[in-house]
Homo-oligomer: A and B are copies of this chain.
């Protein structure tokens, strides 16, 4: 199966599961609508697809349990986007071409929608897996030493020129903000799919490079695409005093680093017959 076939097969399954279960499982219809507004705003479903593809690469059959875990990851990702967009944070009015949650529903509503999506995501992961290890992986990945810690470094360093040339700082911040959750998506699949120690290591190594590459890709989208293409404000990182790999290295060297990461990520998949995971790397072609 190619990456494209896999994506075409599973994206609607993920979308349907998210839409129907947010309706079924959130008792308050209005809160459910606010949560679903952001979840159903047309994301690529990258993390849930990555979870499912990794599980599949271990020659396991995907059942509804795995779809529940995958969708739990997407709920958590969506919570992080809602909170990142808040006025006190990145203050974004648009996301994926639509008004951000706080612009559409109000600020308290957006904070609470995020606060509801986060534990529900963990709930779906533990219900789908019944596995404490997955809860340990996801909570570590999104907490103070993971995603939220990265967002904190970002907020804390914005307009701070002393870190603008600090490659270690920027690496760490970008890794925590984006890489951690991507790695966790793959790592949870290796545990849930009972990967051998060697397969598990190779898949996690792939995820590390894929996750690092994703952040560079995301920064490049900011300069390559127009606002209309990206569905959100672009060309704003530099203007808003953000520090990232792009502002550190410039576009040319960022692209070189991205190509290096893709190469290494591919090498870590050499032992897998499955061609779906390799296909995830094609995503990055549009900024190269």
Contacts and interface: CB of A to CB of B under 8 A. Distances in A.
Contacts of A107: 88
Interface string A138-164: 111011110011011101100000000
Interface stretch (A6-14, A127-135, A186-194, A274-282): A127-135
A115 B148 contact: yes
Given A86-B111, A89-B111, A31 B119 contact: no
- As for how many copies of this chain the complex holds, the number is 2
A223 interface: no
Given A89-B111, A111-B88, A115-B83, A126 B139 contact: yes
A156 B28 CA distance: 11
Contact of A126 (B112, B136, B149, B153): B136
B111 A144 contact: no
Interface residues of A, number: 48
Given A88-B107, A119-B122, A31 B144 contact: yes
Given A30-B156, A116-B149, A123-B136, 9 more contacts: A86-B111, A88-B106, A88-B108, A109-B155, A115-B118, A118-B119, A120-B144, A123-B140, A126-B135
28 contacts: A25-B145, A26-B144, A26-B145, A27-B145, A28-B144, A28-B145, A28-B152, A31-B152, A83-B115, A88-B107, A88-B111, A89-B111, A108-B155, A109-B155, A111-B111, A112-B148, A112-B152, A112-B155, A114-B115, A115-B118, A116-B143, A116-B148, A119-B139, A122-B122, A122-B135, A126-B139, A131-B132, A132-B132
